[in-house]
C-alpha cells in the first residue's frame, strides 16, 4: 500500500469492506455554529495509514502516503479541515472542522485502514446555534454612537434602549439574514455623557443587557503615568466565563491594548491590567496617548462599557500655560495696586483742595467782617 496512488473508487470499496468485516462505532457530537468542532475517530495503531472522511456522497478529507490528499475534496470543506498528523501514528484520525455551519449537520463516516486492521467510525454532528450579543462604542469628530448587536438568532429579537430611567427610541437599525438565521444592529446616539445608557435584547429563551457610562476626564502631563479605572459589577466577575478588554478610541480608530480571558495579555507596550481591579496602568505617557479609553467587561448575559477620556498635555505647553497664568495674576495684582493708589491719591488731593477752599472762604469772610466793622466806626 505504501508508495501507491489510491484512486477515489478504491477508497469507496475499502469503506464498504470495513462496513462488512471491520469494527464499527458510532458517536454523537454537538458543535457550535461558527466555531470549531472535533469529530473523533480512534483506531488501532499501525503502519501505512489510509484515512477517509466523508459525509453522504461528499469527500470531506482523504489522507494517505503520509499527507492530505485534497484533489477530490468537496468545495464545502475547502480550507476547513484538519487532521492531527502528529497523533495519527498513535491511533488518532480525529477531524477538526472549522467555522461550523448549519449545513455541516449530519452523519460523517471515518474509514481507517492499516496493514493490521480496518476501522470505521460513524459520527453524528449536531449543530447548535447560540446567539451572540455585543455592544460597541464609536466616537467621531461630531458624535458618540453606541451599536448594540445580536448575531445568529432564529427569530428577530426585540431591542430596547434606556437612558437613565427613561425609555428612548433607537436612532438607527439594520437587519440581515443568513438562511434561517438573522442578525440585528441597533444604534443609539449619546446625547449627554453624564447619563448611563442601557441596551436590552430580549431573545426567545434568554435576555441580555449592556450598560454604557462615562467617567470624568483625566488630565496628565507628558512623561507621567496614569491609572484608568474600570467599572464592573460583582455579578459579572462571578460568571464562569467573563472577559475583560481594554481599547483606545482615537480619531475613529480603535486599538486593543490589553485583555483578560483566563490569563492577562498585553497587546501594546507600556500598558498593563492591574489584576485586583482590572484598571489599566499606562507608563511614560506621550501626547499620542490621548483619547477615549474603553473597558469592556463581558459575561454570558451582560456587557459593561466604561469610558474615560485621557488628555495628555505636552510638557512645553504645560510650562507655557503656567507662565501665562502667573503673568495674568501678576498683572491683575498690579492693576489693583495702581487703582488703589490712584484712589488714595485722589482722596488726599480732594481733601487738600477742600481744605484750601475752606481756608480761602474763611479768609474772605474775615476780610469782609473786618472791613464792615471799620466802616461802622467811621
**Mean predicted confidence (pLDDT) in 294-318:** 89
- The residues near 57 (Cβ < 8 Å, ≥ 6 apart) are none
- pLDDT score at 357: 53
Question: H-type helices in the chain, by residue range?
Answer: 8-21, 85-88, 234-238, 315-377
**Mean predicted confidence (pLDDT) in 81-108:** 95
Mind listing the pLDDT tens digit for each residue in 234-247? 766 776 789 999 99
What's 18's DSSP letter?
H
Confidence class for position 361, pLDDT limits 50, 70, 90? low
- The residues near 63 (Cβ < 8 Å, ≥ 6 apart) are 49, 50, 51, 52, 69, 83, 88, 93
Q: How many CA atoms lie within 13 A of 87 on its CB side?
A: 12
- The residues near 108 (Cβ < 8 Å, ≥ 6 apart) are 39, 53, 54, 55, 60, 95, 122, 123, 124, 125
- pLDDT score at 321: 63
Give the CA diameter of the chain.
171
Taking the C-alpha atoms of residue 300 and residue 373, their distance in angstroms, rounded to an integer, is 116
Taking the C-alpha atoms of residue 312 and residue 289, their distance in angstroms, rounded to an integer, is 7
- pLDDT score at 76: 95
Q: Among 187-191, 301-305, 307-311, 356-360, where is mean pLDDT lowest? A: 356-360
Q: Are 295 and 260 in contact (CB under 8 A)?
A: no
The model's pTM is 0.65
Is it the case that residue 359 has pLDDT exceeding 70? no
Cell 469507496 appears where? 12
Is it the case that residue 2 has pLDDT exceeding 50? no
Confidence class for position 322, pLDDT limits 50, 70, 90? low
- pLDDT score at 18: 45
**Mean predicted confidence (pLDDT) in 211-233:** 94
Is it the case that residue 338 has pLDDT exceeding 50? yes
Is it the case that residue 204 has pLDDT exceeding 80? no
CA distances from 152 to 29, 127, 225, 259, 338 (A): 20, 12, 42, 25, 76
Question: Three-state SS across 142-163?
Answer: CCEEEEEEEEEECCCCEEEEEE
The chain-wide mean pLDDT, for the chain, equals 85
- pLDDT score at 180: 84
CA distances from 338 to 263, 300, 347 (A): 67, 70, 14
Confidence class for position 340, pLDDT limits 50, 70, 90? confident
Mind listing the pLDDT tens digit for each residue in 105-130? 999 999 999 998 999 999 999 998 88
- pLDDT score at 339: 77
Instruction: Give the burial class of 203: count Cβ atoms within 10 A of its Cβ; 0-12 exposed, 13-18 middle, 19 or more buried.
Output: middle
**Mean predicted confidence (pLDDT) in 329-339:** 83
- pLDDT score at 318: 53
Is it the case that residue 370 has pLDDT exceeding 60? no
Q: Are 296 and 303 in contact (CB under 8 A)?
A: yes
- pLDDT score at 11: 47
**Mean predicted confidence (pLDDT) in 13-21:** 47
Mind listing the pLDDT tens digit for each residue in 133-161? 999 999 988 899 999 999 989 888 999 99
- Taking the alpha carbons of 25, 30, 31, 36 in that order, is the dihedral positive or negative? negative
Mind listing the pLDDT tens digit for each residue in 252-304? 889 999 999 999 999 999 999 999 899 999 999 999 999 999 999 999 899 99
- pLDDT score at 349: 54
Cell (9 digits) for 153: 438568532
Ramachandran bin of 353, using left for φ above 0, alpha for ψ from -120 to 50, beta for the remaining angles = alpha
**Mean predicted confidence (pLDDT) in 174-192:** 93
Mind listing the pLDDT tens digit for each residue in 80-89? 999 999 999 9
Confidence class for position 21, pLDDT limits 50, 70, 90? very low
- pLDDT score at 4: 43
How many CB atoms lie under 10 A from the CB of residue 210? 22
Amino acid at each position: 500500500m505504501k508508495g501507491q496512488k489510491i484512486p477515489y473508487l478504491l477508497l469507496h470499496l475499502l469503506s464498504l469492506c470495513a462496513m462488512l468485516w471491520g469494527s464499527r462505532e458510532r458517536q454523537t457530537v454537538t458543535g457550535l455554529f461558527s466555531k470549531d468542532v472535533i469529530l473523533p475517530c480512534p483506531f488501532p495503531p499501525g503502519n501505512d495509514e489510509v484515512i477517509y472522511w466523508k459525509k453522504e456522497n461528499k469527500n470531506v478529507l482523504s489522507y494517505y502516503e503520509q499527507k492530505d490528499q485534497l484533489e477530490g475534496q468537496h468545495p464545502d470543506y475547502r480550507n476547513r479541515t484538519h487532521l492531527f498528523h502528529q497523533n495519527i501514528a498513535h491511533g488518532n484520525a480525529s477531524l477538526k472542522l472549522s467555522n461550523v455551519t448549519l449545513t455541516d449537520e449530519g452523519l460523517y463516516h471515518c474509514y481507517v485502514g492499516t496493514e493490521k486492521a480496518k476501522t470505521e467510525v460513524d459520527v453524528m454532528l449536531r449543530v447548535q446555534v447560540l446567539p451572540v450579543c455585543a455592544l460597541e462604542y464609536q466616537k467621531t469628530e461630531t458624535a458618540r454612537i453606541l451599536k448594540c448587536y445580536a448575531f445568529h438568532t432564529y427569530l428577530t429579537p426585540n431591542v430596547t434602549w434606556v437612558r437613565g430611567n427613561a425609555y428612548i427610541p433607537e436612532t438607527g437599525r439594520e437587519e440581515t439574514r443568513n438562511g434561517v438565521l438573522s442578525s440585528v444592529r441597533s444604534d443609539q446616539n449619546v446625547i449627554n455623557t453624564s447619563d448611563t445608557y442601557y441596551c436590552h435584547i430580549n431573545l426567545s429563551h434568554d435576555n441580555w443587557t449592556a450598560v454604557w457610562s462615562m467617567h470624568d476626564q483625566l488630565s496628565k502631563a507628558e512623561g507621567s503615568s496614569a491609572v484608568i479605572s474600570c467599572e464592573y459589577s460583582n455579578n459579572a466577575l462571578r460568571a464562569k466565563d467573563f472577559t475583560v478588554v481594554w481599547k483606545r478610541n482615537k480619531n475613529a480608530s480603535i486599538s486593543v491594548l490589553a485583555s483578560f480571558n483566563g490569563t492577562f495579555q498585553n497587546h501594546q507596550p507600556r500598558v498593563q491590567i492591574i489584576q485586583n481591579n482590572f484598571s489599566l496602568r499606562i507608563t511614560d505617557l506621550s501626547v499620542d496617548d490621548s483619547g477615549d479609553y474603553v473597558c469592556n467587561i463581558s459575561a454570558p448575559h451582560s456587557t459593561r462599557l466604561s469610558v474615560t477620556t485621557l488628555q495628555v498635555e505636552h510638557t512645553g505647553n504645560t510650562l507655557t500655560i503656567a507662565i501665562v497664568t502667573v503673568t495674568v495674576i501678576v498683572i491683575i495684582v498690579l492693576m489693583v495696586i495702581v487703582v488703589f493708589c490712584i484712589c488714595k491719591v485722589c482722596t488726599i488731593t480732594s481733601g487738600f483742595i477742600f481744605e484750601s477752599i475752606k481756608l480761602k472762604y474763611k479768609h474772605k469772610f474775615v476780610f469782609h467782617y473786618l472791613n464792615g466793622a471799620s466802616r461802622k466806626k467811621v
